[in-house]
Amino acid sequence: MQTVRVALAQIAPKLGDLKSNFEIHLDAVALARRKKAHVVVFPELSLTGYVLRDQVPEVALSREAPLFRKLLRASAQIDMVVGFAEETQGHRFHNAAAYLSKGRVLHIHRKIYLPTYGMFDEGRDFAAGDLVRAFETPRGPAGILICEDAWHPTCAWLLVQDGAEILIAPSSGPTRGAKPGRGITSLTVWHDLLRTTAQFQTSFVVYVNRVGYEDGLNFGGGSAALDPFGRIVASLPGLSEGMTVAELDVEVLRRARTAYPLLRDENLELVHREIARIRQERFQVPDPLDMVFLQEPAAPRRKAR
């Protein structure tokens, strides 16, 4: 990894308005370049808005879509992480985030955990992703977790085991009330999660949450970048649009992983063995050794003389 300047673009997308949202992205890209950032990160579904419901097929983009190609051209001078509704082969629709660099797609992450509790109903509109992969960027290895994915610790753990040193978490997190002296409750909970993730994975974490209103939901903002010690490097306030730049210093990563060699000491063989056992017990999967014995042909009986 090299030291990298990351712009956190806390924007308010307009629901279903691809053209307007594209212009918002271009304005943010121009501002990020003026701030000398190397990469600009946008929130979850930044191109479309969040509460899409039946609009998903209308606003979904494939890699060949003209608007997606315009985004690629915009990434010629600065890397971008963009949230969008993706249409894939077989007309499957995903809540996705793409890392674009120098006119190329370096990686697309499809949201794995689609919440269907409380105010959320993403499982109705999108197909779940099924891959967790780190990928190389011009500044080093990274991984993407979209909102709810970050609440499942195995996702961050797998990305770091796969080599990621920066975890990027675009979000469309609504507010859930406030408490005196604590501000917006949901932001406090998010920041606790991000701090724990950064510390236990000894990795940088970049969280970019949107703001604005949609269908009765008020999105909270509160974007932040944290270092591998869990310290906030840069942050934005709740509820209002804005941009800040976080400098992610490679020497801080080195110091954290030297002081807390959690990644070095992880026992992957133990995890593999115990996960296999739990999976077998939970889903009543036959033991592989039992299957070998079942498949072996019985030895021929000797004829009695």
- Same domain (yes/no): 287, 238: no
Asked whether residue 240 is domain-assigned, the answer is yes
- Same domain (yes/no): 91, 183: yes
SS3 of 221, please? strand
pLDDT in tens, 158-196: 999 999 999 999 999 888 655 555 556 678 899 999 999
Any idea what the Cα angle at residue 43 is, between residues 80 and 176, rounded to 5°?
Answer: 165
Q: Say what the pLDDT of residue 303 is.
A: 58
Which is catalytic among the residues 111, 148, 155, 165?
Answer: 111
- Report the distance separating Cα 130 and Cα 152, nearest Å: 14
Q: What is the mean pLDDT of residues 138-144?
A: 96
Does residue 61 surpass a pLDDT of 70?
yes
Asked whether residue 19 is domain-assigned, the answer is yes
Does residue 199 surpass a pLDDT of 80?
yes
Location of structure tokens 């949901």: 186
Identify whether 155 is a catalytic site residue: no
- Same domain (yes/no): 256, 283: no
| CB distance 124 to 93 below 8 Å | no
Asked whether residue 242 is domain-assigned, the answer is yes
Strand order in the sheet with 140-144: 135-137, 140-144, 166-171, 204-209, 224-226, 232-235
- Same domain (yes/no): 210, 253: yes
Token pair for residue 106?
């370096």
Q: Say what the pLDDT of residue 286 is.
A: 79
pLDDT in tens, 219-255: 999 999 999 999 999 999 988 999 999 999 999 999 9
- Same domain (yes/no): 26, 157: yes
Any idea what the Cα angle at residue 119 is, between residues 153 and 198, rounded to 5°?
Answer: 25
Asked whether residue 176 is domain-assigned, the answer is yes
pLDDT in tens, 258-302: 999 999 999 999 999 999 999 999 998 777 666 555 565 655 655
> Which domain covers residue 253, as residue numbers?
4-260
Element at 4 (helix H, strand E): strand 4-10
- Same domain (yes/no): 229, 97: yes
Residue 77 DSSP symbol: S
Q: Say what the pLDDT of residue 285 is.
A: 79
Identify whether 14 is a catalytic site residue: no
Overall pTM > 0.85: yes
Asked whether residue 66 is domain-assigned, the answer is yes
Give me the CATH number covering residue 27.
3.60.110.10
Query: If we measure between CA atoms, which residue out of 71, 286, 271 comes closest to residue 161?
Result: 271
- Same domain (yes/no): 220, 249: yes
Asked whether residue 65 is domain-assigned, the answer is yes
- Same domain (yes/no): 273, 192: no
- Same domain (yes/no): 293, 241: no
- Same domain (yes/no): 176, 290: no
Q: Say what the pLDDT of residue 53 is.
A: 92
Which is catalytic among the residues 86, 87, 122, 147?
Answer: 147
pLDDT band at 118 (very low <50, low <70, confident <90, very high): confident
- Same domain (yes/no): 220, 287: no
Number of domains in the chain: 2
Asked whether residue 305 is domain-assigned, the answer is no
DSSP3 helix / strand / coil % (the chain, rounded to 5): 35, 30, 35
Query: What is the distance between the terminal CA atoms of the chain, rounded to a whole angstrom?
Result: 76
Q: What is the mean pLDDT of residues 104-114?
A: 98
- Same domain (yes/no): 255, 279: no
Token pair for residue 26?
């271009």
Asked whether residue 302 is domain-assigned, the answer is no
